[in-house]
Structure 1
Amino acid sequence: MNEDKDVRVRALFSRYYSGEATPAEEEELMRYIRSGAHDDIIGDAMKQHWLEPGSESNLFDASQSREMLSSILTTSRHRKPWGAMRRLWVRYAAVAAVLVVVAGLWKQRKSAQEQPAPIAGQTSPQDVLPGGDKALLTLDDGAGIELDKVRSGLVARQGGTEITKKADGLLVYHNRSAGKAGMNKVSTPRGGQYKVQLPDGSKVWLNASSSIRFPSVFPATERPVEITGEAYFEVTKDAARPFTVLFNGSTVQVLGTSFNIMAYPEEGTSRTTLVEGSVSVRNRSGQARLQPGQQAAVTPGGRIQTAFKPVEEAVAWKDGLFYFKNAGVRDVMRQLARWYDVDVTYQGDVPVRRFTGQVSRNVNLSEIVGMLRYAGVNCSLKDHTIVVAQ
């Protein structure tokens, strides 16, 4: 009986991989994967189709291919996080994530116009949902407003400034009349993200466990803000008022441009990546002026190092993706901990693995944990904690 099921699983995998499986066959295969009773068969099928010499999908050498078994292809969903994604890849629902690692990675098998309906999956009691739009607005007087719990419309007033929440969650500052400026702060928890339109019309996207502090009315000669964590900016041009961002003892100064700053303390090195325009990064150790596509890395010692880096790698989070490039297990776990608001514990030595690829941030954590297990990392999800063992 078990042999018959093994044959069935292999046949379903082959049809799914070749794009010939019917929706019913896909769902049947997903049930087998979720049951965990056929891991060896699925693993063998992965190796056969993904690593076999001369395979159409074998675009990289064997070592690279094994690393790429860790990546989940981006889903083109009905709900697209914060606007259109820079790159649309078509796949079925996130419950297929473990299989998607192999079946669709690095090749667009179907037109981006095709958007199949997601396959409904069940969430186990041990599962953790992905993060979402959550933030706390702290006004000048210290009052706090949980933005994800208030309705759209007027949220607060600061002097002559009205603070409103749009239907899509965007927090907007309107300077209606002259008035005293107050310092405001928008902060996201672990598992949160948020988008804010500043008093000058500039927009900022906050990643999980991040914050931005700014005046409700910018002065006549400058536009200063301060951040922690990670933020993406689209700055309104105003030559008379330079826009400055302070983080970890460094300052980014711009007139009007798009850029990303990653300054999580636990990451050690902070990184400023320029998408469009021109910015300068400076601290006590020196200064660097960036070109589009260039990144300034500020080491813990304050040294500024510049290099051209793929913009997609820095801003993928804004488009609903994790982007891993030769990332170690601890690197991956830090990102998962922030986005899913979970703890990570290690039992014994940390496994030596490297991961390259893009992973949707809109999948349940159990699916990523399952993917990591298939990639050779002995990990499990227990009581809101990822346990990584030898």
Structure 2
Amino acid sequence: MNFPSSKKLKYWAENYLKGTISQSDKEALEAWYMSMPDMEIDWDDDQIDSLQTLQHKIFKAVESQIRDNDNKKILRRKRLRYIMSAAAIIFILVTLGFFMHKGKNTEIASAGRQLVNDIQPGITQATLTLPNGKKIALDSAHSVKITAEKGSIYVVDKNGVTTYLGNATQLNVYNTLTTHRGEQAPPLVLADGTKVWLNSASSLRFPISFNSDTREVTLSGEAYFEVAKNPRHPFIVNAGASKIKVLGTHFDVMAYKDEPYTCATLLEGSIRITNGNNNARLVPGQQGKISTDGSVNVGWVDAEESIAWLHGQLSMKSMNLTTFMREVSRWYNVDVVYEGEPPVLNFSGLLNKAVPLSQILAALSANGVRCNLKDKTIIVSGK
């Protein structure tokens, strides 16, 4: 068969990940894999070594096709870029559990030794703490909606049935929505109509009603906001020492304490970031990073990547290993420790958050990172 380009493979892989791949493309992708020379893979003995062998096999196939299709001298840089693209494809497909042991049609998720203590992905769950200290458990069947007229708070279930929880129209009365590691909150609608989605290991402190000149909330962790427009009452997100000021817009704020910077990414509208005497105004498609020294750096990004978590995916675009492992730690509720210096790797692509932890670790192993899971701790080392 004709060897597909790396661009085509990446396109197929991403659609496979999203579940939008057509039947013809799926068959072509599987046919490409099955067309490679036969080789024995001993899944039962060592799944990690099998993945490394499979990766090596695909690299060889890519290199062979380059030689066959290009009679001119191949520049090392071009060759490396092509092979690294293939590596990214392998990472995506292995994490999907796509690769099969020929003749057995066995997905990697079920092939070889299963992890006895495999860890399942996070769930939709959060805790709402009311001003009187009462805690309300929320899950995927419930969202939170605050009525603007009377400052009343309700829990609304998926059938639209509301349960009245209380009333507080006075100033300085706050609720707190909290997620632990392994949790992602159901949608929150504030009193002004602003919608908020809270990521793992995060908290949002907000008033039952906005009765001042500004609409202010306090965030720790990460959240995506769709702010209701109200030019007379700016919406302000307090994230550590930083303030993100908006009138009406869609944006993501990442302010985890274990990250080296606070990050705001704008998808629609306009926001202003302030930290001490430093400030910057963002336009859609820009991201502002506030470092620990207070400096604000602005750059262009793929803004949709910043909210991949909202759509059930983990983004790895231009992400190093330690940053990615912090994402894994928060979503799978595990600790991560390193034996020696962390391997230097940069990833790209999107991963499905719904897969068990074992598939994430298998994908890392295929890319040269050895991970051992002991209880709820991942021990990371280079191969």
The bucket for the TM-score relative to the shorter chain is 0.7 to 0.9
Q: CA deviation at 1:62?
A: 4.2
Q: CA deviation at 1:163?
A: 1.7
Normalising by structure 2, we get a TM-score of 0.74
Match of 2:55 in 1: 43
**Retained in 1: the 8 A contact 2:271–2:282?**
yes
Q: Is 119-128 or 267-276 further displaced after alignment? A: 119-128
**Retained in 2: the 8 A contact 1:164–1:173?**
yes
Q: Is 310-319 or 61-70 further displaced after alignment? A: 61-70
Q: CA deviation at 1:239?
A: 1.6
Give the Cα–Cα distance (whole angstroms) in 1 for the partners of residues 43 and 316 of structure 2.
24
Sequence identity percentage = 33
Matches within 5 A, 1:265-280: 265-280=257-272
SS in 1 for 2:314: strand
Match of 1:147 in 2: 138
Give the Cα–Cα distance (whole angstroms) in 1 for the partners of residues 252 and 236 of structure 2.
13
Give the Cα–Cα distance (whole angstroms) in 1 for the partners of residues 194 and 164 of structure 2.
12
Match of 1:26 in 2: none
Q: CA deviation at 1:356?
A: 1.7
Structure 1 counterpart of 2:54, one-letter code: I
**Retained in 1: the 8 A contact 2:145–2:188?**
no
Cα distance change on mapping 1:226 and 1:326 into 2, 3 Å: same
Cα distance change on mapping 1:311 and 1:353 into 2, 3 Å: same
Match of 1:180 in 2: 170
Cα distance change on mapping 1:152 and 1:326 into 2, 3 Å: closer
Cα distance change on mapping 1:65 and 1:368 into 2, 3 Å: same
Deviation digits for residues 317-365 of structure 1 (CA, Å, limit 9, x no counterpart): 1122211133222111111001110011111222222212211111111
Among 283, 304, 329, the alignment partner of 2:321 is 329
Whether 1:95 and 2:97 are equivalent positions in the alignment is yes
Match of 2:235 in 1: 243
Match of 1:340 in 2: 332
Give the Cα–Cα distance (whole angstroms) in 2 for the partners of residues 246 and 127 of structure 1.
37
Matches within 5 A, 1:1-390: 18-20=28-30, 36=47, 38-39=50-51, 41-54=53-66, 61-62=81-82, 64-65=84-85, 67-69=87-89, 71-72=91-92, 94-96=96-98, 99=99, 124-148=115-139, 152=142, 160-167=151-158, 179-180=169-170, 182-194=173-185, 195-390=187-382
Structure 1 counterpart of 2:169, one-letter code: G
Match of 1:80 in 2: none
Structure 2 residue runs without a partner (length 5+):
1-24, 32-38, 70-77, 101-106
The two structures, once aligned, show a CA RMSD in angstroms of: 3.9
Cα distance change on mapping 1:367 and 1:34 into 2, 3 Å: farther
**Retained in 2: the 8 A contact 1:50–1:65?**
no
Give the Cα–Cα distance (whole angstroms) in 1 for the partners of residues 215 and 163 of structure 2.
14
Structure 1 counterpart of 2:369, one-letter code: V
Give the Cα–Cα distance (whole angstroms) in 2 for the partners of residues 70 and 300 of structure 1.
36
Cα distance change on mapping 1:327 and 1:177 into 2, 3 Å: closer
Structure 2 counterpart of 1:140, one-letter code: P
Cα distance change on mapping 1:321 and 1:265 into 2, 3 Å: same
Q: CA deviation at 1:382?
A: 2.2
Cα distance change on mapping 1:163 and 1:318 into 2, 3 Å: same
